[in-house]
Structure 1
Amino acid sequence: MNKRRKLALAIGAAVAPFLVVTMPASPASAHGYVSTPPSRQAQCAAGTIECGPIKWEPQSVEGPKGLTSCSGGNSRFAELDDDSKGWQVTPVGSSQTFSWKLTARHSTSTWQYFVGGKKIAEFDDGGAQPPATVSHTVDFGGITGKQKVLAVWNIADTANAFYACIDVNIGG
């Protein structure tokens, strides 16, 4: 190898790590979140609440199945777990339609909705690939007042799920 080529390779090897660190991150091809009523990550994306990096990736709250946190266990999105952050609360009736916006349409096992750690609804998709928008009408079964709904999209062919929390005032 000639000297010029060795020098070029050495410079390239030295500069490459800096390029990786300083280049802007592109959003993940991503997945999905509850857009209506506005979930915590939808509020972040809209600028309703200041939330850090979730603003650019509301669809990326992914973690192992079975979690109960708004962040899906993802430390980058831990602000979603902060109940004192001043989240917008949506007044709803005794039932509510929740709409998911999907940016990557994964085969789905189930969609689940929880209030206070108790599952209040489950919709089984049996491994089907959903459309770009999915809606479910959930009956709150007598639950009233200010509540945090945890919505979970369980993917059929991975061990992961997508998480969204929606602050509502049932009957308010």
Structure 2
Amino acid sequence: MSQTKVESQSVAQPRHGQIFEPASRGQLCVDGVNAQCPLQSWQVNGLEGGKFFPAAEANLHDPLAPTDAVNAQPPVDGRIASAGQAHSAVLDEQSADRWHKHPARPGQTLEFKWSYHAIHLTRRWNYFITKADWDPNRPLTRAQFEAEPFYKAELTAQPFWEHQAELTPPQPTIHQVRLPERRGYHVVLAVWEVADTGNAFYQVIDFNFI
């Protein structure tokens, strides 16, 4: 866990990382584009929960790098967008018209850009998308997403304590991601998995495929 920064007298506010382009659901709350969603930047950067989504249990070893830290408890179904963080529970609201959507084309290649307030040694970034027949008026659950990521960026050096340079992501981190074939409203879930802690950082981005 990285150090925290206190921005008020009573609340310790963690800062880690987020997708800033295309703007995530949380960032659009900060920007005032998503209504009735009063979040601050520190909250969007602190969407931290157990890694290895869609795994639902803790204390699992990474099959690629078994000496990495085992995972903490991942967020439960219905709390995926907030990573189970109470300070950002508004992000778990879900309906067909609740959130602003980025226009996208099936098969389009987009740059997904991560920025970090605290850089961790990194194992991978996984990108998931909702199933073709998902129900946008029901909570985001594992069953709503494809079980396998449609895009993965992975760092293979191990053990992590001997490969700090290789496992330190660039600032910013940019992925050239080809979007799957979809129509209409869909949600992309991007998960940044850390090597030397049990956690990952969760970001959801809303798209309208036209």
TM-score class, shorter-chain normalisation, is 0.7 to 0.9
Q: Which has the larger radius of gyration?
A: 1
Relative contact order: is structure 1 or structure 2 higher (C-alpha 8 Å, sep ≥ 6)?
2
Bigger share in strand:
1
Q: For 1:34 and 1:58, how far apart are their aligned partners in 2?
A: 9
Matched, 1:120 2:150: yes
* TM, length-normalised to structure 1: 0.77
Q: 5 Å matches for 1:1-172? A: 23-25=9-11, 27-28=13-14, 30-49=15-34, 50-65=36-51, 66=53, 67=74, 69-84=80-95, 86-93=98-105, 94=107, 95-116=109-130, 117-118=145-146, 119-126=149-156, 128-170=167-209, 172=210
SS in 1 for 2:170: coil
Residues 142 and 92 from structure 1, CA distance in 2 versus in 1: closer, same or farther, beyond 3 angstroms? Answer: same
SS in 1 for 2:155: strand
Unaligned ranges ≥5, structure 2: 1-7, 54-73, 131-144, 161-166
Q: CA deviation at 1:26?
A: 5.1
Q: For 2:186 and 2:153, how far apart are their aligned partners in 1?
A: 21
Q: CA deviation at 1:88?
A: 1.4
Bigger share in helix:
1
Please list every run of at least 4 consecutive aligned residues from structure 1 whose deviation after the TM superposition is greater than 3 angstroms: 52-56
Between Structure 1 and Structure 2, how many residues are aligned? 149
Q: Contact 2:81–2:202 (CA<8 Å) still a contact in 1?
A: yes
**What RMSD in Å do the two structures reach over aligned CA positions?**
2.1
Unaligned ranges ≥5, structure 1: 1-21
